[in-house]
């Protein structure tokens, strides 16, 4: 609530509660992952304490957040309402089909309520996103070091422990050039449980960091700031290479191309460093994608590899099975229980816990109505981030395009939890409101690259502040004396 003079009530930046919620879920997931892989005995209360700490901290920060005069845009309201409906359908299915309930699922509706009641401006969202992406990178790099040091097992070791023979198929199907030098056992999954999910997290890091680095070059920011984002771009490329996820490489390439086009269309980078990033990242991704698609088992044999993978790593057969399951219950879906039963009976392979297609998975799991809700949610996000790109946050649009591309051959979202992909979708969509309280010279105050208008002329300066109530406006200055 604003004070009587129209200024925001004192309090902390909304970036705190938003960043704490997203980072908190990530850290809890990592903690639970380490507790599982280290196979150590912990007291029962420890896991519950870790899980409950995140909503408590997030709520405490939210309660201390200043209530600004920023409006809640219509597109934000539609997005949040649709996201809550999607969560409600998913959680209802979990409860009524006796799959149990995970307490971490309560974080998403809590975040939706906090965003609705005290909406952050675009600058606060970007600051929270910066913290989240840096935290995501730190967690990933730390997990990589632990795996190289043999402190935690590799993903292949976990596969071999299952004894289903899938590890051998994986080794023969993917090319991981850095596995040997780093001493890794095949593809890297980190704390994300699967290389494809690790690839999605890497794509989030790469696209956000590329946009922020290009912005830093354009704004002539301090070298330390530009250096941090440049290092994160390298980290994102490294993580993608280690996962050897063709889907994530292709999706990141699509997002990076959209990022470059958005900057050229709605802004003009004014330093060569921006051009190097905006052209170099798509080029590097295209090279990596070509190598991973035409290589298998460490050998390059383009014709043989592409021919052998005409089923897209078994996806075409899985799609046919999921489509048949959807026809059995088109309106309500078969739920997680039905998919698990199909795996148990051999109707689906052991790795097909999801449909490897966003729309097909939504329709088969929860019904056609749920799939339509998801489609409306993603279209709303696409509309919102297009507006953000016009106002100087082109990486928001690039992230949504990347997630849509991921959805062609993967299922990037778990609608109950704040995974890196859902966190990226929320952050990208919530950048829609410009931050009018930060001041600033015509460009986006959080450092967007849109320093010039589309016509190439400098934007007009902001209007002067209105006089305070009860005071007379300043008198007009005296006219200059007439020339003799």
CA triple 381-386-390, angle to 5 deg: 145
Alpha-carbon distance of 348 to 362, in angstroms, equals 17
Q: Is 295 helix (H, G, I), strand (E, B) or coil?
A: strand
What number of CA atoms fall less than 13 Å from residue 151's CA on the CB side? 12
Give the pLDDT confidence score for residue 183 in this predicted structure. 83
Alpha-carbon distance of 347 to 335, in angstroms, equals 15
Alpha-carbon distance of 129 to 319, in angstroms, equals 34
Kindly indicate the confidence band of residue 156, based on its pLDDT and cuts at 50, 70 and 90: confident
φ and ψ of 95, to 5 deg: -75, -50
pLDDT digits (tens, 9 = 90+) for 18-52: 999 999 999 999 988 888 888 766 777 787 888 88
φ and ψ of 387, to 5 deg: -65, -40
Give the pLDDT confidence score for residue 298 in this predicted structure. 45
* Mean pLDDT of the chain, nearest integer: 82
Alpha-carbon distance of 235 to 209, in angstroms, equals 10
- pLDDT greater at residue 78 or residue 459: 78
CA triple 243-245-248, angle to 5 deg: 115
| For range 396-422, the mean pLDDT | 96
Residue 27, both tokens: 């850290």
Give the pLDDT confidence score for residue 479 in this predicted structure. 47
Give the pLDDT confidence score for residue 469 in this predicted structure. 46
| In the predicted structure, residue 455 carries a pLDDT above the cut 80 | no
φ and ψ of 299, to 5 deg: -115, 145
Nearest Cα residue to 260 out of 213, 309, 321, 303: 213
Give the pLDDT confidence score for residue 71 in this predicted structure. 63
| For range 446-473, the mean pLDDT | 42
Give the pLDDT confidence score for residue 68 in this predicted structure. 63
| In the predicted structure, residue 78 carries a pLDDT above the cut 80 | yes
Please report, in angstroms and rounded to a whole number, the separation of the first and last CA atoms in the chain: 57
Give the pLDDT confidence score for residue 434 in this predicted structure. 57
**Range scoring the smallest mean pLDDT among 99-108, 198-207, 345-354:** 99-108
pLDDT digits (tens, 9 = 90+) for 435-446: 443 333 333 333
Percent over 90 (pLDDT), the chain: 56
Q: What are the Cα distances from residue 264, in Å, to 219, 226, 382?
A: 16, 20, 19
pLDDT digits (tens, 9 = 90+) for 203-256: 999 999 999 998 877 666 577 888 899 999 999 999 999 999 999 999 999 999
- pLDDT greater at residue 475 or residue 417: 417
Give the pLDDT confidence score for residue 309 in this predicted structure. 55
Give the pLDDT confidence score for residue 402 in this predicted structure. 98
């Amino acid at each position: 609530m604003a004070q009587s003079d129209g200024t925001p009530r004192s309090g902390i930046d909304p970036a705190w509660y938003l960043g704490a919620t997203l980072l908190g879920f990530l850290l809890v997931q990592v903690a639970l992952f380490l507790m599982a892989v280290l196979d150590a005995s912990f007291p029962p209360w420890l896991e519950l304490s870790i899980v409950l700490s995140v909503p408590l901290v997030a709520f405490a920060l939210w309660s201390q957040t200043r209530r600004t005069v920023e409006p809640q845009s219509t597109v934000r309201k539609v997005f949040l309402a649709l996201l809550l409906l999607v969560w409600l359908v998913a959680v209802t299915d979990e409860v009524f089909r006796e799959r149990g309930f995970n307490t971490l699922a309560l974080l998403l509706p809590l975040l939706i309520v906090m965003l609705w009641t005290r909406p952050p401006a675009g600058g606060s969202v970007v600051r929270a996103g910066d913290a989240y992406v840096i935290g995501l990178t730190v967690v990933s790099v730390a997990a990589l070091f632990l795996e190289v040091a043999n402190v935690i097992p590799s993903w292949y070791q976990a596969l071999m422990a299952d004894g289903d023979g899938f590890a051998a198929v994986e080794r023969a199907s993917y090319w991981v050039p850095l596995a040997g030098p780093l001493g890794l056992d095949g593809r890297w999954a980190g704390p994300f449980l699967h290389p494809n999910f690790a690839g999605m997290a890497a794509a989030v890091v790469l696209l956000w960091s590329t946009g922020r680095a290009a912005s830093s070059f354009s704004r002539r920011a301090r070298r330390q700031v530009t250096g941090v984002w440049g290092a994160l771009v390298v980290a994102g490329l490294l993580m993608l290479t280690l996962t050897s996820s063709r889907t994530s490489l292709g999706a990141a390439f699509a997002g990076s191309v959209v990022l470059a086009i958005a900057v050229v269309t709605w802004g003009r980078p004014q330093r060569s460093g921006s051009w190097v990033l905006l052209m170099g990242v798509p080029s590097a991704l295209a090279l990596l994608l070509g190598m991973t698609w035409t290589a298998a088992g460490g050998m390059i044999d383009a014709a043989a590899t592409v021919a052998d993978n005409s089923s897209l790593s078994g996806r075409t057969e899985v799609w046919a099975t999921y489509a048949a399951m959807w026809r059995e219950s088109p309106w309500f879906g078969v739920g997680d229980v039905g998919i698990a039963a199909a795996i148990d009976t051999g109707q689906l392979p052991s790795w097909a816990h999801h449909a490897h297609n966003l729309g097909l998975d939504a329709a088969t799991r929860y019904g056609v109505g749920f799939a339509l809700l998801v489609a409306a949610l993603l279209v709303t996000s696409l509309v919102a981030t297009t507006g953000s790109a016009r106002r100087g946050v082109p990486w928001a649009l690039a992230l949504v395009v990347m997630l849509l591309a991921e959805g062609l051959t993967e299922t990037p979202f778990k609608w109950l939890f704040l995974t890196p992909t859902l966190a990226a979708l929320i952050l990208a969509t919530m950048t829609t409101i410009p931050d009018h309280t930060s001041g600033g010279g015509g460009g986006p105050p959080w450092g967007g690259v849109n320093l010039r208008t589309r016509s190439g002329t400098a934007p007009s300066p902001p209007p002067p502040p209105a006089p305070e109530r009860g005071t007379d406006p300043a008198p007009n200055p005296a006219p200059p004396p007439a020339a003799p």
